[in-house]
Amino acid sequence: MAFISVGIDHEHASLDLLERATVPEEGWGKVLGSLLANANINEAVFVSTCLRTEVYATIDRFHGAVDEITATLSDATGVSADELAAVLTIHFDKGVAGHLFRVAAGLRSAVPGEHEVLGQIRRALERADEEHAVGPELAELFRRSLSAGRRARHETAISRGTTSFAQATVSMAEHELGANLAGATVVVLGAGQLATGVVKSLRDAKVAPGRVVIANRTRENADALAHDANDERIDVVALADVAGVLGEARLVVAAIEAPAPLLNASSFTSTQGEVLVIDLGMPRVIDTDVDSLRHVRRLDISHLRDVVQQTLADRHVAVDAAAAIVDEEVEKFHEDRRSRGAAAIVGELRERLEQLRAQEMERRRHDFSSFTDAQRELVESLTRSLVAKIAHAPTVALKEAAGSDRGQRLTEATRNLFEL
């Protein structure tokens, strides 16, 4: 079996396409089930975030698997297979580990070194495990990617400074609003991981807002976030009642998942003064019709690029150092996989040879009936030694070629020759 990854990401696809191809977590189980129903896919993990929708799998046939994964993604997202195919990023076998390890380290993120991706990868693995879609090979790949991601952040400066969408969002708001953010009312839609980061970044911002209002569907989650943030400037309202606080808002940050826009131009007709709206939702949570309002300025994930470019400039050395760590971890993973692969076939070969030796000894047992115990042990020792010598050359060849095309051919030949 070989690894494959097929998907779209912010480096190759437009924000509009990424938005349409995002699958909420409640739909992941159905996607995984559809993937495993295909003939060429043995294991699968599905990753879908605001800037990445990808399938990782172990497969039998490359081209067949690519077609099956593309068709599954098309069915799950409603995006045509042709539109997806034009921007698909595909990695095969050894290249999959290199790609996934870089994703986990934040080297493929819009904000280099961001922490959210580690949680997203971990959750994707957990969900695949819950759906019985992942086996030992793919699970080990994901666990090692998480370890590589943590090491890259621990041993380099890639995770220092602006390292998340939340921090980048607040940095952008500070840049856009300047002193006008001081003492202002900020409304944050959502109470999940991204919203939590936004609220805490606002709490710690150099230009401090006067009030931060959290609006969420589940009031209890918003209350828990406010309690955890532990700041008297933070209030909570139900999402249904957010209109009552929009009138005084200077900044609105949408960090919530919804199938359709929650706010539109009519939501801002009563606002006092200019309003900056930052929509982090995928799909968008703030309807683009707000662009028609002269007093409202809407920004989204695509506008974070200026912040990201500055981050890249400041973190060039750290990015290179993290990439070197990832390369090292990828090579270790491949070495370990080669060793495991060789150990399996070598073990099967030796077990088969020992089985043949024992069967022949048992068949000829009557020929040794007159032997003493010492003589019988001598025969046993001699036959074992012969089997070991016969197995030595194949063992060396299999170990040396493990992980290569030659190794695959030798493994197949060994299985056929010895009926393994």
Q: Is 57 exposed, middle or buried (0-12, 13-18, 19+ CB in 10 A)?
A: buried
Instruction: Look up the pTM and report it.
Output: 0.68
Please give the average per-residue pLDDT across 98-106, as a whole number.
95
Identify whether the C-beta of residue 176 lies closer than 8 Å to the C-beta of residue 299: yes
How many other C-beta atoms lie within 10 A of the C-beta of residue 271? 17
Please give the average per-residue pLDDT across 93-110, as a whole number.
92
Of residues 312 and 375, more confidence is placed in 375
Average pLDDT, the chain: 89
Q: Specify the range with the lowest mean pLDDT, choosing from 2-6, 24-28, 38-42, 306-310.
A: 306-310
Task: State the catalytic residue, choosing from 6, 32, 50, 319.
Answer: 50
pLDDT of 342 over the 80 cut: no
Please give the average per-residue pLDDT across 199-209, as a whole number.
90
At what angle are helices 136-155 and 116-130 packed, to 10 degrees? 170
| Two tokens, residue 142 | 């994901």
Q: Specify the range with the lowest mean pLDDT, choosing from 21-35, 228-242, 393-407.
A: 393-407
Instruction: Give the CATH superfamily of 2-161.
Output: Glutamyl-tRNA reductase, N-terminal domain (3.30.460.30)
CATH number for the domain whose boundaries are 165-302: 3.40.50.720
23 Cα distance to chain centroid: 14
User: What is the per-residue pLDDT for 163?
Assistant: 59
For the chain, which residues make up each domain, given as ranges?
2-161, 165-302, 344-418
pLDDT of 366 over the 60 cut: yes
345: confidence class by pLDDT, cuts 50, 70, 90? confident
Q: CA neighbours within 13 Å on the CB side: how many for 4?
A: 26
- Give the 3-state DSSP-derived string for 185-231, with helices as H, strands as E and coil as C: EEEEECCCHHHHHHHHHHHCCCCCCCEEEEEECCHHHHHHHHHHHCC
Task: Give me the percent of the chain exceeding a pLDDT of 90.
Answer: 51
Question: Mind listing the pLDDT tens digit for each residue in 54-63?
Answer: 999 999 889 8
Question: Mind listing the pLDDT tens digit for each residue in 140-172?
Answer: 999 999 999 999 999 998 877 655 778 888 988
Task: Give me the percent of the chain exceeding a pLDDT of 70.
Answer: 95
50 has catalytic annotation: yes
Q: Specify the range with the lowest mean pLDDT, choosing from 119-128, 161-170, 305-314.
A: 305-314
Q: Specify the range with the lowest mean pLDDT, choosing from 65-69, 264-268, 307-311, 351-355.
A: 307-311
| Two tokens, residue 230 | 């532990």
Identify whether the C-beta of residue 55 lies closer than 8 Å to the C-beta of residue 133: no
- Give φ, ψ of 213 to 5 degrees: -110, 120
Identify whether the C-beta of residue 6 lies closer than 8 Å to the C-beta of residue 84: no
pLDDT of 311 over the 70 cut: no
303: confidence class by pLDDT, cuts 50, 70, 90? confident
Of residues 6 and 301, more confidence is placed in 6
pLDDT of 5 over the 60 cut: yes
Largest Cα–Cα separation, the chain: 108
313: confidence class by pLDDT, cuts 50, 70, 90? low
187: confidence class by pLDDT, cuts 50, 70, 90? very high
304: confidence class by pLDDT, cuts 50, 70, 90? confident
327: confidence class by pLDDT, cuts 50, 70, 90? very high
User: What is the per-residue pLDDT for 127?
Assistant: 96
pLDDT of 238 over the 80 cut: yes
Identify whether the C-beta of residue 62 lies closer than 8 Å to the C-beta of residue 2: yes
